[in-house]
Amino acid sequence: MGDCIFCKIVNKEINSNIVFEDDEIIAFNDIEPIAPVHVLIIPKKHIDSMNDVDKSDERLFGKIMIVVSNIAKQVGIADEGYRLLTNTGINGCQEVKHIHFHLIGGQRLQKI
Stretch that binds ligand 5GP, among 53-61, 74-82, 90-98, 103-111 (CB under 6 A): 90-98
> Binds 87, which of Zn ion, ligand 5GP, none (CB < 5 to 8 A, cut-off by type)?
ligand 5GP
In sequence order, what are the residues at sequence separation of 6 or more whose Cβ sits closer than 8 angstroms to the Cβ of residue 30? 38, 39, 40, 102
Among 94, 99, 101, 103, binds ligand 5GP (CB under 6 A): 94
**Cα–Cα nearest to 25, from 74, 73, 52, 62:** 62
Per-residue binding letters, 11-40, with ligand 5GP (x by CB under 6 A):
---x-x-----------xxxxx-------x
100 catalytic residue (yes or no):
yes
Question: Rule CB under 5 A: is residue 6 a binding residue for Zn ion?
Answer: yes
